[in-house]
């Protein structure tokens, strides 16, 4: 089915309300992106989301939008806390898939001679690949329940990381209201030995250098300088989060029928926010989100140890500290002003990043003057970006921006393009060291499989919903 789209300006497109839609769709994209989008089904998904009960404001799509389960990846949708719904498809299978950025005092020339060894250490210390698990850290169920309730704080209590780390994580590294009793035995079982593992797909661990600073004053507040070595951790809630999503999709199909919610697509299955099923999903989702926060905190500990092993200096001496940690897949209650009225909304961000403005109380105090750091990974061969949130974005997108480059080739198509090529050698020729658990994943993750993230963040900046601070270039990449 063809979706009607009206251009608003150079980077905004409206999908006007029609049929069962309760609101407009609003897509952020340049013309080339929109031309490509018209050939796939992601815009239909933006329209479908607009049919859900209690949606407030438009059904939003960021410039990295692509087709997802029910809701598009790159989608943002806010729902009224009384009339609205919550949908597992609006969060995604990898609950609290997210990105953490670490800084250091190291300059690139200090690290380059040790890059091979550093990549080896990171690859050895952080299990990667599908089904990756830790033999050295098998939790008891009692410990796991604490992880699910406390998130990153549990890891800090075990002596790995600091209070300062926790202050530099979205929500302080813990979503309130997590109830482990709402998880299936299977979800709990899958999490027992996966804490501190990277996983597969687009997840990665990367040593990078600051390649370009666009906003020196903002960069200084973030602790970034040109030529500096940084580390990005991109992973989520692993098999546990997948299982939570899968379990609740079944529950939500029944709930949607029970509450008479008409679904444009079964994958949009959902329940009223104030129903038992809705509340239970949010409490189970919080468990998975906290598992992901703990996962990134534990991986941070192993990154610090890896640097210590290879460079012979303590992580404290290297000032290897957390700049910020963002969620890319989550639904959260937030206060927003809509048409002049302050409302409590459940904002679904699926493949989208919260980007709160300067002055917002949920932005850590040290960044309150510049806005929330927004971490946007690109692909493993090019670069990633650091942005901050804006006041205009808070008003227009519920304080949200893109989350990454967005795929242009399916995994299958990417493998076909990569066939016969030596991707590791191609990256080496560009000064990038690669360590990967599986060749298949590397083929799926080639640069050509993704949009140029520079174009994506330029749309965000032009639209005024985010402000570009710095670009990071990969030096060593660990993949699943």
Partner DNA sequence: ATGTCC
Our finding on whether 370 is near DNA (CB under 7 A) is: no
Report the distance separating Cα 129 and Cα 205, nearest Å. Answer: 12
Q: Which residues, in sequence order, are bridge partners of residue 435?
A: 478
Look at the block and give the residue holding tokens 């991707």: 423
3-state secondary structure (DSSP) of residue 288: helix
Structure token digits, residue 341? 């009225």
Is 479 assigned a ligand-binding role in the annotation? yes
**Beta carbon nearer to DNA, 62 or 106:** 62
Structure token digits, residue 206? 């990367």
Residue 242 Cβ vs DNA, minimum distance, rounded to whole Å: 4
Our finding on whether 201 is near DNA (CB under 7 A) is: yes
| Among 54, 84, 90, 239, contact with DNA (rule: CB under 7 A) | 239
Our finding on whether 291 is near DNA (CB under 7 A) is: no
Which residue numbers are catalytic?
Answer: 403
Is 290 assigned a ligand-binding role in the annotation? no
| Among 105, 117, 131, 259, contact with DNA (rule: CB under 7 A) | 131
Is 377 assigned a ligand-binding role in the annotation? yes
Q: Which of 348, 378, 359, 332 is nearest to 471 (CA)?
A: 378
Contact window for DNA (CB under 7 A) among 8-16, 38-46, 167-175, 238-246: 238-246
Is 399 assigned a ligand-binding role in the annotation? no
User: How many residues touch DNA (CB under 7 A)?
Assistant: 24
Residue 30 Cβ vs DNA, minimum distance, rounded to whole Å: 23
Q: Tell me, what DSSP letter sits at residue 405?
A: -
Contact window for DNA (CB under 7 A) among 1-9, 43-51, 102-110, 196-204: 196-204
Our finding on whether 232 is near DNA (CB under 7 A) is: no
Is 403 assigned a ligand-binding role in the annotation? yes
Report the distance separating Cα 466 and Cα 391, nearest Å. Answer: 9
Q: Which of 46, 83, 88 is nearest to 289 (CA)?
A: 88
Is 205 assigned a ligand-binding role in the annotation? yes
Is 404 assigned a ligand-binding role in the annotation? yes
Question: 461: alpha, beta or left, given left = phi > 0 and alpha = psi -120 to 50?
Answer: alpha
Our finding on whether 238 is near DNA (CB under 7 A) is: yes
Report the distance separating Cα 120 and Cα 130, nearest Å. Answer: 19
Question: 346: alpha, beta or left, given left = phi > 0 and alpha = psi -120 to 50?
Answer: beta
By DSSP bridging, strand 373-376 and strand 329-338 are unpaired
Report the distance separating Cα 27 and Cα 208, nearest Å. Answer: 31
**Beta carbon nearer to DNA, 238 or 360:** 238
Contact window for DNA (CB under 7 A) among 51-59, 106-114, 236-244, 393-401: 236-244
Is 329 assigned a ligand-binding role in the annotation? yes
Cα dihedral 26, 393, 62, 294 in deg (nearest 10): -140
By DSSP bridging, strand 55-66 and strand 73-80 are antiparallel
CA 282 to centroid of chain Cα atoms = 18
| Among 51, 87, 243, 384, contact with DNA (rule: CB under 7 A) | 243
Report the distance separating Cα 281 and Cα 268, nearest Å. Answer: 14
**Beta carbon nearer to DNA, 412 or 419:** 412
Q: Which of 400, 403, 410 is nearest to 450 (CA)?
A: 410
**Beta carbon nearer to DNA, 189 or 212:** 189
Contact window for DNA (CB under 7 A) among 91-99, 173-181, 250-258, 274-282: 91-99
| Among 186, 279, 336, 343, contact with DNA (rule: CB under 7 A) | 186
| Among 71, 79, 93, 281, contact with DNA (rule: CB under 7 A) | 93
Q: Which of 469, 479, 385 is nearest to 441 (CA)?
A: 479
Pick out the residues of the known binding site: 94, 202-206, 234, 328-329, 377-380, 384, 403-406, 479
Pick out the residues of the known binding site for GMP: 202-206, 328-329, 377-380, 384, 403-406, 479
Would you tell me which residues interact with DNA (CB under 7 A)?
A: 69, 93-94, 97, 130-131, 186, 189-190, 194, 199-203, 235-236, 238-239, 242-243, 438, 440, 480
């Amino acid at each position: 089915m063809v979706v009607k789209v009206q251009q608003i300006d150079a980077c905004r497109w409206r999908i006007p309300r029609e049929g069962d839609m309760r609101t407009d769709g609003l897509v952020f994209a340049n013309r080339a992106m929109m031309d490509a989008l018209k050939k796939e089904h992601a815009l239909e998904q933006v329209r479908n989301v607009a049919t859900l009960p209690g949606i407030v404001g438009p059904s939003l799509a960021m410039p990295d939008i692509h087709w997802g389960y029910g809701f598009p990846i790159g989608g943002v949708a806010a729902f009224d806390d009384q009339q609205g719904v919550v949908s597992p498809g609006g969060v995604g299978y990898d609950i609290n898939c997210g990105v953490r950025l670490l800084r250091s005092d190291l300059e690139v020339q200090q690290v380059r001679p040790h890059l091979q060894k550093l990549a080896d250490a990171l690859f050895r210390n952080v299990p990667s690949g599908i089904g990756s698990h830790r033999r050295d850290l098998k939790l008891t169920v009692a410990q796991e329940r604490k992880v699910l309730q406390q998130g990153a704080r549990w890891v800090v209590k075990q002596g790995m990381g600091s209070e300062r780390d926790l202050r530099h994580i979205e929500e302080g590294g813990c979503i309130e209201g997590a109830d482990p009793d709402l998880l299936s035995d299977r979800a709990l079982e899958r999490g027992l030995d996966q804490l501190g593992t990277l996983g597969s797909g687009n997840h990665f661990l990367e040593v990078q250098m600051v390649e370009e600073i666009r906003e020196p004053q903002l960069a200084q507040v973030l602790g970034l300088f040109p030529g500096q070595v940084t580390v990005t951790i991109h992973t989520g809630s692993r098999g546990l989060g997948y299982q939570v999503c899968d379990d609740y999709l079944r529950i939500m199909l029944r709930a949607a029928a029970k509450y008479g919610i008409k679904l444009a697509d079964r994958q949009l299955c959902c329940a009223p926010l104030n129903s038992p099923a809705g509340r239970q999903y949010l409490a189970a989702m919080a468990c998975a989100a906290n598992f992901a926060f703990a996962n990134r905190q534990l991986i941070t500990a192993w990154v610090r140890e890896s640097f210590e092993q290879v460079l012979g200096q303590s992580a404290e001496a290297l000032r290897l500290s957390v700049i910020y940690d963002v969620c890319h897949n989550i639904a959260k209650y937030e206060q927003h002003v809509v048409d002049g009225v302050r409302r409590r909304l459940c904002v679904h961000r699926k493949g989208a990043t919260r980007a709160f403005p300067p002055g917002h109380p949920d932005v850590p105090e040290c960044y309150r003057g510049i806005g929330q750091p927004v971490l946007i990974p690109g692909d493993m061969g090019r670069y990633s970006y650091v942005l901050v949130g804006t006041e205009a974005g808070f008003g227009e997108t519920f304080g949200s921006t893109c989350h990454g480059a967005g795929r242009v080739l399916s995994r299958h198509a990417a493998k076909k393009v990569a066939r016969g090529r030596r991707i590791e050698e191609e990256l080496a020729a560009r000064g990038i060291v690669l360590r990967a658990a599986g060749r298949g994943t590397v083929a799926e993750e080639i640069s050509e499989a993704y949009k140029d993230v520079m174009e994506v963040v330029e749309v965000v900046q032009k639209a005024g919903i985010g402000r570009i601070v710095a670009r990071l270039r990969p030096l060593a990449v660990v993949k699943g």
